[in-house]
A and B are shown apart, each in its own frame.
Chain A
Amino acid sequence: MIAEGLLYTKDHEWAKIEGSTATVGITDYAQQLMGELTYVELPAIGKEFRVHDEMAVVESSKSASDVYSPVTGKVVEVNSNLESKPELINDDCYGSGWICKLAITDANSVENLMNAKQYEEYLKGL
């Protein structure tokens, strides 16, 4: 399932750009692959990331995957509900399962993200 109005990366992260803020999460494809999540390692508020830096980690009982930053920016908020309920990502990965919000510091970093249609095509080719 792919949500409209979001931008996507090849590593299955999504970003919702509102002004100069990006809300970030992982896609339905990714959460299905991971299985039931048991833990999310959230980034520290104030930490800066460039595009494709390792920003967070999602863990299931059998595997762990890095979540890469889709934009260049600074973390301004994290979804602390994930600390007690990592499964929010499985249940509602585009909504209440958001991971963190970044203040975009390099507007150009958004350029290489895919739109919903492009991501759909990309998934077909996997």
Chain B
Amino acid sequence: MKLIFEKSINGRRGIQVTPSDVPTSINIKSEFLRQSSAELPQLSELDVIRHFTELSRRNFGVDTNFYPLGSCTMKYNPKVCERIASYPGFAHLHPLLPQLRMGGMLTQGALQMLYETDLLLREITGMAGFTMQPMAGAHGELTGIMIMAAYHRDRGNRKTTVLVPDSAHGTNPASAAIAGYKVVSVPSSERGVMDVNILRNFVNNEVAGIMLTCPNTLGLFETNIREICDLIHSVDGLTYYDGANLNAIVGKARPGDFGFDIVHLNLHKTFATPHGGGGPGAGPVGVKEKLLDYLPVSIVVKRNDGTYALEYDRPKSIGYIAPFYGNFAIILRAYVYILMLGKDGLKRVAENAVLNANYIREKLKKYFPLPYDDLCKHECVFSVSEKMLQNSIHAIDIAKALMDKGFHPPTVYFPAIVKEAMMIEPTETESKETLDAFIDAMIEIARLAETDPDKLKSAPITTPVSRPDETAAAKNLNIACL
């Protein structure tokens, strides 16, 4: 398929710009002007629409078919959320308005939404207050670690390390390192969870805190979570909850009750805001009472007269981590979703997410080895069998074969502690028929992997490209058409 630049025709125009209606045309001093115009495409509107329509047909979304990417929670994105985000009353609001005198009164609806979302998230997670500013999960992680650091500085604690399990998502150690901490990896037990006795060896006065997700990245619930949190608290460390896996427990249990001091949520995962091909997301961070002072500014408060305002005067705050109030239109979508689900709906989310995952786990465990054959939560991790490996079939080949069956593959090669990992997270919005079709496809692939591997080696054959050369991409580094 051609690049959009390759379709350009000199003189072709897309949008007709409204002609000027002012009498003056300014000729800026030529030393300040560019020598030649930017070589942007010259196309008609039809050309552009066709180009992107063609591109969209080379893409796969939740709207297309089953998308069981473990750790990503690819659930259905309600269309009403898209409609509401486009209401002019939200879309056309300039972010600087509240910074004008009397400007807060111009944005009461927006402030009310942010405030109510804070309250709803507190209730869902058991935390005392939220910042809506972080613009993605990893951004939330960095914010949370910065809050951790501010707390320790304030108390005069000398802390240098942050603990993470060896199964942690890469953003955890990356965020802690960027915030200036040394990261220490704690090995998981043979059951795949964190063992308190192993952890004890790593806990000392230098530990600022621990970053965990629960259930963990293997989809297993950390049954000793209270003990783990208590152990960290015993050295005045803080416990951080990576909310990527909240879909497993939302409406049933609260990380605040497990003993977590800081929590981030991925609105684009648990709260159904769209993934966008890689964002935009939102990663609000909630904290327990003892950390409220450190939250970033500004915070939306409700005054005694019932109006909403932005509060900036927080001397211990870690400052601004976003230009304004967070990814407003994403938070808005999550707010709508929570309102639609309500108390019962949220509970059913976790119940069906866990049911769907265990259904797949039980039905596929005869065909693919299950490194940890325990009750799972919202996702399960498989590996490939010895026979498959002998036939040179790896997780990547299983993934490619699934594409020809019309499914998006699960996450592969994560978490790294499982060889040839395939992490399947169906989510609660998938139907039994879809799951059964996926299970049938996987069983067929397992059979081929053991008896007729060549068929899999040539997969995928139904997609626009097949097994692109990633090594050549890294060596040639053609990353722009200039």
Contacts and interface: CB of A to CB of B under 8 A. Distances in A.
Nearest to B473: A61
A119 interface: no
A41 interface: no
B467 to A, nearest CB: 12
A105 interface: no
Contacts of B470: 61-62
A38 B470 CA distance: 10
Chain B interface bracket (under 10, 10 to 19, 20 to 34, 35 or more): under 10
B27 interface: no
A84 to B, nearest CB: 10
A48 interface: no
B471 interface: yes
B475 interface: yes
Contacts of B480: none
A83 to B, nearest CB: 11
A36 interface: yes
A23 B475 CA distance: 26
Q: Is the interface of B mostly helix, strand, loop or mixed?
A: helix
Contacts of A86: 475
Interface residues of A, number: 9
Contacts of B475: 38-39, 86
A61 B469 CA distance: 9
B465 interface: no
Contacts of A62: 470
B474 interface: yes
Nearest to B476: A38
Interface string A31-52: 0000110110000000000000
Contacts of A38: 471, 474-475
Nearest to B413: A62
A66 to B, nearest CB: 14
A77 interface: no
Nearest to B469: A61
Interface in A44-94: 59-62, 86
A36 B470 CA distance: 10
Contacts of B474: 38-39, 59-61
Interface string B448-482: 00000000000000000000001101110000000
6 contacts: A36-B471, A38-B471, A39-B475, A60-B471, A61-B473, A61-B474
Given A36-B471, A38-B471, A59-B474, 13 more contacts: A35-B471, A38-B474, A38-B475, A39-B474, A39-B475, A60-B471, A60-B474, A61-B470, A61-B471, A61-B473, A61-B474, A62-B470, A86-B475
